[in-house]
Amino acid sequence: LSLQWESVENKSTVLVYGGGALVTLWFSATIVGAINSVPLLPKVMELVGLGYTGWFVYRYLLFKSSRKELLEDVEELKKKITGA
């Protein structure tokens, strides 16, 4: 990890992005807490989550060809992130 850190040219940019990620995480947790305080909204959001999960399973996990497509998409995303 330290070797990877030493190879980074713009350390300040990495720190800014890391700080931004932490602020975004805190902000999203605050939003979720506010949504949970509204009486009916948590159940609606739960239904939306269950619906999306069902769609995702049907779209990507149920059939072998779609699982292969999902793995190819994940590998492509990994290449974009790592720059390989």
Each residue's pLDDT expressed in tens, for the chain with a length of 84 residues: 788 888 888 889 989 999 999 999 999 999 988 888 888 888 888 999 999 999 999 999 999 889 999 999 999 999 999 887
Dist CA 84 CA 51 (whole Å): 35
Q: How far is CA 47 from CA 51, 53, 58, in A?
A: 6, 10, 16
Residue 68 has a pLDDT of 93
